Amino acid sequence: MNAAQSHIADAGAVVSARGLRKAYKNKVAVAGADFEIGSGRIVGLIGPNGAGKTTALKAILGLTPFEGELRVLGKDPRTQRDELMNEVCFIADVAVLPRWIRVGEAIDFVAGVHPRFDRARCERFLANTQLTPKLRVREMSKGMIVQLHLALVMAIDARLLVLDEPTLGLDILYRKQFYQRLLEDYFDEDKTILVTTHQVEEIEHILTDVLFIRDGRIVLDAPMDEVADRYTEILVGADALEAARAMGPIDERALPFGKTVLLYDGVPRSTLAALGETRNPGLADLFVATMKGTYA
């Protein structure tokens, strides 16, 4: 465990997993994963299809049995799920609200199932929109559906918000709107957000921490500022390529006009700067490099 993780553990982790394992009949979905998520963090759980993301989320939410040790807000999801759900909000996909439901009915439903739902807060969010109580989902644009879902979510005073591919099926404008509103109107130092998505570039700027999962194992667990310090990309010309390769990159990709981008883990930036232009890698490029071979 690194210093940052120790600090999180000392502060009281919102989620703490030790040897988390889940096996189905012919497949191990989560293979002894260890990780911690601290309070007031926005954490991206990122991995290819079948890597174990959804299974890990189901374990955290008490929706599937598992082996190993897992504590969520100090509770065991297997035996204390009812208590846990009082402090957790889970959103799978903002595009799946029933098309027949009216705005007022959606508010009534959430108010009936979540004890920490604040109806007045929800209605304040909706007051700035064109949404009226009798309007049905099928009569709304995608942007209006996002507004309704955000109002429902942000009116729940949950300590942990779990988002599993929340903007699936929405175009880029509404995806950006969703995350921006979440950041501006919902998130604070007492709340924690755990999000999975395939659109890595769109959440990169809001994350405080990242977890890469591959084949049921956590292969990267770090705060974003540590990722920026640890990994470096360098853009080199053909004349410096062999010297750059000699420094042990973990990945490389060719660009037009004889340029190559190489990615390094733990090599001092000052050492690399003599060979070419250095920069922080994007999270998507780091993900692709880490997952090489997964799609073979």
Residue range 3-223 in CATH 3.40.50.2300: no
Separation between Cα atoms, residue 141 and residue 159, nearest integer Å: 30
Q: What pLDDT is recorded for position 293?
A: 59
Under CATH, to which class is 227-290 assigned? alpha beta
- Residues facing residue 221 across a β-bridge: 211
For 128, the 3-state DSSP assignment is coil
Beta-carbon contacts of 216 under 8 Å, excluding residues fewer than 6 positions away, are 22, 28, 29, 30, 31, 32, 33, 51, 52, 55
Taken in order 111, 185, 197, 59, the sign of the CA dihedral is: negative
- H or E segment and range at residue 222: strand 217-223
Q: How distant is the alpha carbon of residue 158 from its chain centre? A: 17
Domain boundaries, the chain: 3-223, 227-290
- pLDDT of the residue at 8: 37
Pairing of strands 28-37, 160-164: unpaired
52: left (phi over 0), alpha (psi -120 to 50) or beta: left
Dmax (CA) of the chain: 67
The torsion defined by the Cα of 7, 13, 19 and 25, in degrees rounded to 10, comes to -150
Q: What is the pLDDT of residue 174?
A: 79
- Round to whole Å and give the CA distance between 195 and 282: 18
Predicted pLDDT at 166: 81
What span, in angstroms and rounded, lies between the C-alpha atoms of 97 and 93?
A: 8
Q: pLDDT 10s digit of each residue in the chain, 296 long?
A: 444 444 434 347 999 999 999 998 888 899 999 999 999 999 999 988 888 898 999 999 999 999 999 999 999 999 999 999 889 988 876 667 889 999 999 999 999 988 899 999 999 889 878 999 999 999 998 888 888 988 888 899 899 999 888 887 778 887 888 888 888 888 888 899 999 987 888 889 899 999 999 989 999 999 999 999 999 999 999 999 999 999 999 999 999 988 999 999 999 999 999 999 999 999 999 998 988 755 44
- Report the pLDDT value the prediction gives residue 92, as an integer from 0 to 100: 75
The reported pLDDT for the residue numbered 294 is: 54
What is the chain's length? 296
Question: What is the DSSP pairing of strand 88-91 with strand 67-72?
Answer: unpaired
pTM of the model: 0.86
Amino acid at 252: E
Spatial distance between the Cα atoms of 90 and 102, rounded to a whole number of angstroms: 21
Alpha-carbon Rg for the chain, nearest whole angstrom, is 21
CB 149 within 8 A of CB 122: no
